Homo-oligomer: A and B are copies of this chain.
């Protein structure tokens, strides 16, 4: 059986509260008693019972991270970054997968399990702007992503519009004129797809290039297979283009695959850029140009804001933070324009 404060106290010949004082570095403990107690702790291999400590103190030292699915590489890398950032502050991370299911996203906030942690970092995918009022729980929440703005929670997000604009400008700067889009969402205005499409349109507009819906391919989800399907769709339409903006990296990879199968050279015939800077984009053929949305900064900001909110729940009004981004040019956009699809 695990040793308790009482066991240590008995061995050391002091009261259990003195042992507690030693462990918590209470100032008024005589050196000789501290030594006695530490000897007893070592002897018994005592470890504090964190559950009891949590009950008494009201906080657990854990946070919950709720996201759609770890098998989606973007979320795996996000989770990696959040766990690292949390570890730096001595926190552990409890992961809940929602499967992008509306019901499960709501359950995460309502579940009593949430109280096994001190706060929630929540990346919803099914809930949207119309659900802003439902974002609440009995621990502080930091929202991630582009689904919901102006809720009553703190929010960390990437700069989708400017970043997508920069990605598009990167292609335009290479001399590409007809930039197809892979992965738009029908009728979406906010949300990653809507915002990135807006950035794309802004870039075109700034150069006086008319927007052409004929080279924009719509998908339902951002899964790998859909990038391929969207590119098939574009090729079937018989439209011409000399570049592709994949609204995320997996879509872009699917699109590259279909282009190559169809005999187009990337980037010679068609330049391709993605979005997210997944690790794997460094190892595809060709390597994929993309936008680094500042994942580490997102994770660290989220942790920092959550801790501030835990310490002082009603301190400041909800904050909205946008992280820095960076266009990463790789092989898929190297070299000059040649022909087109």
Contacts and interface: CB of A to CB of B under 8 A. Distances in A.
Contacts of A87: 97
A48 interface: yes
Interface in A117-133: none
Contact of A283 (B49, B257, B279): B257
B112 A50 contact: yes
A61 interface: yes
A261 B280 contact: no
A20 to B, nearest CB: 15
Contact of A70 (B51, B60, B79): B79
Interface stretch (A88-96, A205-213, A301-309): A88-96
Interface string A75-102: 0110110011001000011111100000
A151 interface: no
Contacts of A49: 55, 112, 115
B51 A60 contact: yes
Copy count, this protein chain: 2
A220 interface: no
A83 B64 CA distance: 13
A61 B113 contact: yes
A50 B84 CA distance: 26
Which of A60, A97, A228, A254 is packed against the most chain B CB atoms within 10 Å?
A97
Contacts of A83: 70, 95-97
A214 B62 CA distance: 51
Contacts of A228: 283
A21 interface: no
Interface in A250-296: 250, 253-254, 256-257, 260-261, 279-280, 282-285
Contacts of A115: 2, 47, 49-51
A83 B60 CA distance: 21
A94 to B, nearest CB: 5
A95 B65 CA distance: 10
A107 to B, nearest CB: 11
Contacts of A224: 279-280, 282-283
7 contacts: A51-B60, A62-B94, A70-B77, A71-B77, A92-B94, A261-B285, A284-B284
Given A225-B283, A261-B285, 12 more contacts: A50-B112, A51-B51, A71-B77, A73-B76, A73-B280, A76-B76, A76-B79, A84-B97, A87-B97, A92-B116, A93-B95, A285-B285
